[in-house]
Chain A
Amino acid sequence: AQSVTQLDSHVSVSEGTPVLLRCNYSSSYSPSLFWYVQHPNKGLQLLLKYTSAATLVKGINGFDAVFKKSETSFHLTKPSAHMSDAAEYFCVVSEWSSGNQFYFGTGTSLTVIP
């Protein structure tokens, strides 16, 4: 069975400093992993997706994610935070064997301090 644990419910950073949002996953097979962002009163926007091979996944808006199979982790990073990055971030796991049903983490709220 698949599951996702987002290790921090809230993260606060200063503008211009690095961002790290942590995600651990559990999966029986080779999973697909995603990060989505949700701005207030908006739908979910795809930041990036991991399927196989590369351990560093490039996303939009300067975000990257690092996949570590040995640690079952998929952490989201950005070298320099911008005020517009303030939002809720969700880590998601899915498997083809389960019909690509998405399993969401509980979310991490990112605050960016000017």
Chain B
Amino acid sequence: DAGVTQSPTHLIKTRGQQVTLRCSPKSGHDTVSWYQQALGQGPQFIFQYYEEEERQRGNFPDRFSGHQFPNYSSELNVNALLLGDSALYLCASSPTSLYTDTQYFGPGTRLTVL
């Protein structure tokens, strides 16, 4: 059973560009959350997708947007990149259930903005 997968592994962009990161959830999971982890910090919640809609959002600007597809996979888009967007972006998946709220994380995408 494959776990959460993310692509690409690494990405280098320049300021002002746009980037798309991809995530495939663990089998049987229908909820996808995205986190930003700056160097030396704990992950910060960006947003969560369920049934192809953004269900919750953290304190991130509108430059950060996402999408969830019918197969539950998800994309994170960041427009007008800033140097401060350089970070490890983590995707996490979980099943929708009253009985479990554990999130399973992918290996992340390392984004460097020059």
1/0 contact string of A31-65 vs chain B (CB within 8 Å): 01010100000111110010000000000000000
Of B42, B45, B102, B104, the contact of A106 (CB 8 Å cutoff): B42
A106-B101 in contact given A44-B90, A100-B94 (Cβ < 8 Å): no
Q: Beyond A46-B104, A98-B56, list 18 extra A-B contacts (CB 8 Å).
A: A34-B102, A36-B105, A42-B107, A43-B107, A43-B108, A44-B90, A46-B102, A49-B102, A90-B42, A90-B43, A99-B48, A99-B56, A101-B45, A101-B58, A102-B92, A104-B35, A105-B42, A107-B40
Most buried by B among A101, A102, A104, A106: A102
A104-B107 in contact given A32-B101, A46-B102 (Cβ < 8 Å): no
Q: Which residues of B contact A (CB under 8 A)?
A: 4, 33, 35, 40-45, 48, 55-56, 58, 90, 92, 94, 98, 101-108
* Residues in B neighbouring A99, C-beta threshold 8 A: 48, 55-56
> For residue A44, which residue of chain B has the nearest CB?
B105
Cα–Cα distance between A42 and B90 once the two chains are bound (Å): 10
Tally of A interface residues using CB under 8 Å: 22
* 9 pairs, CB–CB < 8 Å, chain A vs chain B: A36-B105, A44-B90, A49-B102, A96-B101, A101-B45, A101-B56, A102-B45, A103-B45, A106-B41
CB distance from B81 to the nearest CB of A (A): 22
CB distance from B2 to the nearest CB of A (A): 13
CB distance from A27 to the nearest CB of B (A): 13
Question: Is A94 interfacial (CB 8 A cutoff)?
Answer: yes
